[in-house]
Amino acid sequence: MQVKRVLKSLVIAVGAAIAFSSVHAADMTGAGATFPYPIYAKWAESYKKATGNGLNYQSIGSGGGIKQIKAKTVDFGASDMPLKAEDLDAEGLTQFPAIIGGVVPVVNIEGIAPGKMKMTGDVIAAIYMGKITKWNAAEITALNPGLQLPAADITVVHRSDGSGTTFLWTDYLSKVNAEFKTVVGSSTAVKWPVGLGGKGNEGVAASVKQIKNSIGYVEYAYVKKNKMTYAQLKNMDGQFVEPDDENFKAAAAGADWVKTPGMGVVLTNQPGKSTWPITGASFILMHKAQADAEKGKEVLKFFDWAFKNGGAMATELEYVSLPPAVIKLIEDGWKAKLKDTSGKALW
């Protein structure tokens, strides 16, 4: 049954997921956020070489990952929007952060090089509400003296699926623009006033690359992979910054993982001169009571291995590894919360 379930998942996920290894009964299965997919793929490939154990991860969006872990069709779910403590308790779940990265505005405007355009949260919010519709609008040209911006309509691209990347994007825009908070709000899925949808970070990246004069938002690893044109952003301290792992790390520096229920820290719009304002952690969701204890143990071994051996790979893809103190907190949580059906701790 396990083999059939994994094979069925692969068929469903064609185009949005990649099997990291040959599928067999011992493989772990996970599903959810596209935000961390590039680093999970890298880790899974290296883990397979090191241990012989495989991971089949469906990059289907945070909303899908939450649904699948609740339905117990995968060994773990992944979401860039942390679940609230009461929601975790209601479903018998626990969560922990696995990686930190940044969501980045990307554009396709002829003659504009990566990192040369400057944007603010207010201007982006107005674009995504349909209030600014031309690239040469006064609000944009005022931020970019010297750039030749066309008198062209802006094509807005957003996610069409339930998405933690959308949560981080809308959470940030809601924090910096009161009207956006009222009109659109902050969630994994919102009712967009304008624009067209793309499925996954992959779909948004593809749409922006194909459509001239478009704007979208993707995790930074997708920017690098697809050689996309990104914009600088003005952060809380009034500084225009570019996305990179150091600025993501700066945004995470003040995170209080201990006092935040369920470790559900949201890192958008953090203070600091070098902080990237749309930074976020990606979370893993697991059932506290593990019906398949061996599979549950293997998931924990995978992330323990990734925490200890995956730092260089994360940096290469411009993600930020978790600090040692946070990893210890996570693994202490595994010991306390994750058990087999007899009540024995998995870790």
269 occurs within a structural domain: no
| pLDDT tens-digit map of 221-255 | 999 999 999 999 999 999 999 999 999 999 999 89
Mean pLDDT, the chain, whole residue set: 93
Phi (first) and psi of residue 273, to 5 degrees: -65, -30
Which pTM was predicted?
0.90
Q: Which domain holds residue 23?
A: 2-101+280-340
Here the CATH number for the domain that contains residue 47 is 3.40.190.10
Clarify whether residues 170 and 53 are in a common domain: no
d(CA 150, CA 136) in angstroms, rounded, equals 6
CB neighbours of residue 104 within 10 Å: 25
| pLDDT tens-digit map of 64-77 | 999 999 999 999 99
Question: pLDDT-based confidence at 21, cuts 50/70/90?
Answer: very low
Is pLDDT above 60 for 172?
A: yes
Q: Which of 254, 289, 317 is the last residue of a domain?
A: 254
d(CA 122, CA 98) in angstroms, rounded, equals 30
Clarify whether residues 219 and 198 are in a common domain: yes
- Contact status, residue 278 vs residue 104, Cβ threshold 8 Å: yes
Clarify whether residues 210 and 113 are in a common domain: yes
Nearest to 171 by CA among 325, 277, 44: 277
Q: How many angstroms separate the first and last alpha carbons of the chain?
A: 26
To 5 degrees, how large is the angle CA 129–CA 161–CA 3? 170
Tokens representing 76 are 């773990």
To 5 degrees, how large is the angle CA 304–CA 309–CA 314? 105
Question: pLDDT-based confidence at 19, cuts 50/70/90?
Answer: very low
d(CA 287, CA 70) in angstroms, rounded, equals 8
What percent of the chain has pLDDT above 70? 93
Is pLDDT above 90 for 276?
A: yes
Clarify whether residues 111 and 250 are in a common domain: yes
Clarify whether residues 138 and 71 are in a common domain: no
pLDDT value for 17: 41
Helix, strand, coil proportions of the chain in percent (round to 5)? 40, 20, 40
d(CA 257, CA 264) in angstroms, rounded, equals 7
What percent of the chain has pLDDT above 90? 92
Clarify whether residues 247 and 133 are in a common domain: yes
Clarify whether residues 111 and 237 are in a common domain: yes
93 contacts: CB under 8 Å, gap ≥ 6: 69, 70, 83, 87, 285, 286, 287, 288
260 occurs within a structural domain: no
259 occurs within a structural domain: no
Clarify whether residues 15 and 132 are in a common domain: no
Query: Could you give the number of structural domains in the chain?
Result: 2
Clarify whether residues 137 and 231 are in a common domain: yes
Clarify whether residues 97 and 110 are in a common domain: no
